[in-house]
Amino acid sequence: MKLASLTAGRHPALSRTDVVVLCGIALVLVANLVGLSLHGDGFNIIVDGWMALLSDWAAVVLVWLAVQRGTPRRADVVLAAAAVTALAVGDTAYRLLPAASAGDVVPTLSDGAYLTFYLLMLGVVAVLAHRSLRKQAWPVLLTSAVGALGASSVLAVLLSPALDGASGAPLSAPIVLSIAFPVLDLLLIAALAGIAATPVRVLGRSGLLLVAGLILFATADVVYAQRVQLDPVLIGTALNGAWAVGFALITVWVLVTARTRRRPDHTTVTSASDASAYAATAIAAPLVATAAGLVVLLVASQTEVSVLAVSLAGSALALAAIPLAFRHRLLHSLSRTDELTGLPNRRALAMDVATRLRAVDARPSALLVLDLDRFKEVNDSLGHEAGDRLIERISARLTGALQAGDLLARLGGDEFAVHLHHADRMRATAMARRLRAVTARPIVIDGLSLELGLSIGIALSPEHGSDLSGLLRKADMAMYSAKATRMGQRIYSEGDDSNDGARLRTLHELRIALTDDQLVLHYQPKVDLATDTVPGVEALVRWNHPTRGLLYPADFLDVAENGGLMRTLTRVVLELALDQAAVWQAQGRELTVAVNLSSRSLADYQLAGVVTRMLTARGLPGSALMLEVTEEFLLVDRDRARNILMRLRSAGVLIAVDDFGTGYSSLAYLRDLPIDELKLDQSFVIPMLDDDRASALVASSIHLGHSLGMRIVAEGVETAEVLDQLAHFDCDMAQGYFVSRPVAANQLERWLDDRAVLPIDVPAGR
């Protein structure tokens, strides 16, 4: 995977200004509500005037700050911020400019601003509705329409008195607008009800703020519509309190939504349980709407109700009366479709492939299981919304690479399956290469160039079985073998069974090892070439297996990574390393212990806090620990890396870049990130005596590091000649088998004591 640039974090913290303004809004709002409840009817210049306007414009400032800091800027947030501004303009004009008389026909500036507020909020709901109906079939539109009509019929009943009163009253701007505002409320509530009826969750928990705010506005507008004919100027009443609270709720929704930068606005159906839950929603919402329509019609049979309310209720019932068989077909289709990509899901794959395999004329076929390499790092670094867009782009590429009759399905997450109809071993292998090739091309997401690998396992029918479950299991095992060996693709063989069993057994035993103190650390010293001292060591984990003996990282780190044990393993290694550092400190040995961390471990935002607590508990300074990170982590998301590394640096922890020189992106991170040490990869150090280009790379890297104030450590030093050349290049430190192999702590102590008597012959280079 390669990323050419960086992106912002997902959940930026509130700034001090934001907190101050937000607290100010809350205080002004509370004071305003208290004032409204105490002074009663009539206009109060402090409560209804300046305090109300102050809270309005403070909210405007805050929402536009949130919009300006949001990346990327979302259309619904911008429209909502504009709506908040329009409402503040309307309130200001209403209080400061001359009011309309009861007979005026032309709306005032405040009326226009209020209408603009409603139109902009309709735009917000339209954006949300568009997202909720994305990739949905037209039957889902029917479900949404039923929910909208049911809600509209109830609100129309509430508006009946106002509509009837307006029909006999003389035409004036206040009367017309008193009806227009509730009607616009009706449209807003209807649209929100339609969104709620779709089998996709769009608003999330924060959406309750928007819904509550609009309901308060609708309630206040209905009351206003009923009273305005008696008193055209209603200010300083409880209505203002309802509008103020509704305004505050909408403002808070804008702030929360603007700060949710990378999370998707809808929840993707990724499992059978999710599909069942959303299918239940698709049934429940129309049922509630149908019940509402029935209630409206019952009320209409007993009392006079507006024609509009009766028409809406009848329309809801008519749409809901579509044959149940059609709705069953809709739910069946939803249960077979992956909502994110529109591809068949695991259930559809099981049904369709089983039918193919049972066909009378069934010929040899192949099942391919595809898994994106290191996709989780994209999700962890860039967020789930970027991950979703990446999955959509990958699925489109895979679809375009297949031939007629081939079936592509998304199994979940970053895993896909392809069934090749009438395919032998040769065609399956060729198709796997083709799928890997189309996936390997760079994909640009939010300005980032991503390159992902694809691991593919292949099972053949009838050679490896004639039922889907067996083929899927064998293709899955072949895929894991391809991923572990980095082959890219692999056809199932009997050896994969034993490999799969061994992998599961190793994972189980590793879980036990992490709790039974079976992990140990060996330490490889780093020699300072100028002073012939040992300022630090690198800690390397080993597994003291009860039956298999001492295991090296290559035997279990991949298992830990794929089995979700890397976070626990990292913390165990840190505890062991710092325990030993504390022992050496008590002995008077000032040694910095370096620990390698994987990209996944470094992506843990809790890491800095965990490390700080570990150091404090042992009475160690931060400089007792050095964390070795890879260039890849630094390049995936530089803002995230800087945030984590700066927190570690503030605790005094040292940072080293491991395997320096093996990366393939910009070196700008050396300037921007807090790095103390560069470790030259042994692939450059070992051949440098016989390879002039390798030697030049080592020399230039040492010069580069020194120019940036960093120490340089050469790894893989195996001969005295290499050590001599490194000293000639002014390299700072060296480690490798010529200096010492990684050894247990007690052996290292003896080695250090022996060096004090007979130091290693380090050539003078400076």
Contact call for residues 285 and 196 (beta carbons, < 8 A): yes
- Better pLDDT: 301 or 713: 713
For the residues 375-397, what does the mean pLDDT come to?
78
**What is the full DSSP assignment across 541-588?**
EEEEETTTEEE-GGGTHHHHHHTT-HHHHHHHHHHHHHHHHHHHHHTT
The residues, ordered by sequence, that sit 6+ positions from 576 with a Cβ below 8 Å of its Cβ are 519, 520, 521, 539
How far is it, in rounded angstroms, from Cα 559 to Cα 544? 16
Q: What is the CB-side half-sphere exposure of residue 292 using CA atoms within 13 A? A: 26
User: In DSSP terms, which residues pair with 521 in a beta bridge?
Assistant: 541
Contact call for residues 698 and 685 (beta carbons, < 8 A): yes
For position 272, what pLDDT does the model report? Answer: 42
Residue 509 has pLDDT above 60, yes or no: yes
- The sign one gets for the Cα dihedral 669, 672, 675, 676 is positive
Q: How far lies 626's CA from each of 133, 591, 714, in Å?
A: 51, 10, 16
Contact call for residues 538 and 717 (beta carbons, < 8 A): no
Structure token digits, residue 238 = 């409880």
How far is it, in rounded angstroms, from Cα 338 to Cα 346? 9
* SS3 state at 607: helix
How far is it, in rounded angstroms, from Cα 260 to Cα 253? 11
Q: Distance from CA of residue 152 to its chain's centroid?
A: 36
Structure token digits, residue 121 = 């909020």
Extended beta strands in 21-65, E state: none
For position 346, what pLDDT does the model report? Answer: 84
Structure token digits, residue 41 = 């009817």
The total of other beta-carbon atoms located within 10 Å of residue 21's CB is 17
The 3-state secondary structure of 603-639, one letter per residue: CCCCHHHHHHHHHHHHCCCHHHEEEEEEHHHHHHCHH
Q: How far lies 337's CA from each of 270, 271, 354, 764, in Å?
A: 10, 11, 17, 70
For position 268, what pLDDT does the model report? Answer: 41
For position 742, what pLDDT does the model report? Answer: 93
Q: Which residues in 89-106 are b (16+ Cβ under 10 Å) and which e?
A: bbbbbbbeeeebeeeeee
For position 189, what pLDDT does the model report? Answer: 66
How far is it, in rounded angstroms, from Cα 378 to Cα 414? 11
What letter does residue 337 receive in the DSSP assignment?
Answer: B
Of 108-112, 171-175, 206-210, least confident by mean pLDDT is 171-175
For the residues 183-210, what does the mean pLDDT come to?
63
Q: How far lies 171's CA from each of 102, 126, 163, in Å?
A: 9, 31, 13
- Better pLDDT: 57 or 319: 57
Contact call for residues 202 and 266 (beta carbons, < 8 A): yes
Structural element, H or E, at residue 709: none
Of 162-166, 202-206, 344-348, 751-755, least confident by mean pLDDT is 162-166
Structural element, H or E, at residue 731: none
The residues, ordered by sequence, that sit 6+ positions from 352 with a Cβ below 8 Å of its Cβ are 344, 407, 419
205 — pLDDT class (breaks 50, 70, 90): low
The total of other beta-carbon atoms located within 10 Å of residue 355's CB is 11
239 — pLDDT class (breaks 50, 70, 90): low
Q: Distance from CA of residue 461 to its chain's centroid?
A: 38
The residues, ordered by sequence, that sit 6+ positions from 237 with a Cβ below 8 Å of its Cβ are 36, 41
Nearest Cα neighbor of 379 from 7, 49, 760 is: 7
Percentage of the chain beyond pLDDT 70 is 66
In terms of residues, how long is the chain? Answer: 766
Q: Distance from CA of residue 408 to its chain's centroid?
A: 25
The total of other beta-carbon atoms located within 10 Å of residue 133's CB is 18
Residue 257 has pLDDT above 60, yes or no: yes
The residues, ordered by sequence, that sit 6+ positions from 230 with a Cβ below 8 Å of its Cβ are none
653 — pLDDT class (breaks 50, 70, 90): very high
* Exposed / middle / buried, residue 168 (Cβ in 10 Å: 0-12, 13-18, 19+): exposed
Average pLDDT of the residues of the chain: 75
Nearest Cα neighbor of 38 from 47, 29, 51, 49 is: 47
Bond preceding residue 462 cis, omega within 30 of 0: yes
Quick: pLDDT tens for 215-238: 777 777 767 766 655 554 444 456
pTM: 0.46
How far is it, in rounded angstroms, from Cα 693 to Cα 713? 19
Which of 63-67, 70-74, 90-94, 611-615 is most confident? 611-615
Residue 751 has pLDDT above 90, yes or no: yes
Q: How far lies 566's CA from each of 326, 375, 439, 561, 669, in Å?
A: 49, 16, 27, 5, 26
Quick: pLDDT tens for 112-159: 888 888 888 888 877 776 665 554 545 555 666 666 677 667 766 766
